[in-house]
Structure 1
């Protein structure tokens, strides 16, 4: 499984960069399998990610591999603890979502039927510094009843039973933010 998990993380990390959902070092994806979390390492670049850039940690945050996990590992772990149904977490820095986070209030309005069906609602979590326990707690609280969260001035987090599901939810969040932003600017 570790080879498959790493392959999926590489595929969707590169796809996120190709689609403009994140840039450079920003963002991180993870998969939970067999009590272990496979997650992008700290400092790895999304469109250059390779198997050596993927860290493995346990659910207590202890390193299993020789690679240091992303500084956002606390947030990923908090989500896995909060939601037993979640097996994948996608955290990206898409531009329209970040812009909307400064204007939308406590929740991004849902515009399309597709977003209504696959996301339901998109809460906006109040700003907390990146990589902190405070941010992890805010996001875990917001994700209790939603599969997507926008973090004020930071990015988005989406979850799913698979990495594919979490990734396409991230695309829907950014599409929703873009449509809302464009409608607000007219």
Structure 2
């Protein structure tokens, strides 16, 4: 099972980079199986991540694998605790979503029928420093009644029952932000 999970994490990490949803060291994906969370290791780069760069932690945050998890592991754990129905998380740094978070308060407007169907709403969580419990708290709170949230000046988090679902919701968030940005009156 862990080989399949690591393969999925590598595939969608590369895809996120190829589609411009993250750059360099930014972003991380995770999959939960039981009490274990498989997540990008600290320092791994999304476009060339290997199976050896997938960290494994338990739901208490204890490192199970030989590699350290991303500094955002607290965020992932908080979301999994808040939303027991979630089995995968995409945390990415797409540019239009980040820009929108500096210009919009509350929620990003939903523009397309697909975003309405699959996302319903896109709350914007207030800024908190990366990797902190505070960021984990405000973001997991924003995801209590939503499958997507934008973190002010930071990026997005989307959730799903599969990594594929979480990933494609991330694309919808970025599409929504791009369309909103292109359509706004300056």
> Is the TM value for this pair above 0.5?
yes
2:97 corresponding residue in structure 1: 97
Query: Counterparts in 2 of 1:1-186, with a 5 A limit?
Result: 1-185=1-185
User: How many Å separate the matches in 2 of 1:29 and 1:16?
Assistant: 10
User: What TM-score comes out, normalization by structure 2 length?
Assistant: 0.99
Tell me the secondary structure at the aligned position of residue 38 of structure 1: strand
- How far 1:75 moved relative to its partner? 0.3
- How far 1:35 moved relative to its partner? 1.2
When the two chains are superposed, the root-mean-square deviation of aligned CA atoms in Å is 0.7
User: How many Å separate the matches in 1 of 2:84 and 2:56?
Assistant: 19
User: What TM-score comes out, normalization by structure 1 length?
Assistant: 0.99
Tell me, which stretches of 5 or more residues in structure 1 are unaligned?
none
User: How many Å separate the matches in 2 of 1:181 and 1:111?
Assistant: 11
- How far 1:32 moved relative to its partner? 0.2
User: How many Å separate the matches in 2 of 1:87 and 1:185?
Assistant: 39
User: How many Å separate the matches in 2 of 1:79 and 1:44?
Assistant: 22
Count residues in correspondence.
Answer: 186
User: How many Å separate the matches in 2 of 1:103 and 1:111?
Assistant: 16
Q: Which runs of 4+ in 1 moved over 4 A?
A: none
User: How many Å separate the matches in 1 of 2:90 and 2:115?
Assistant: 17
Tell me the secondary structure at the aligned position of residue 91 of structure 2: strand
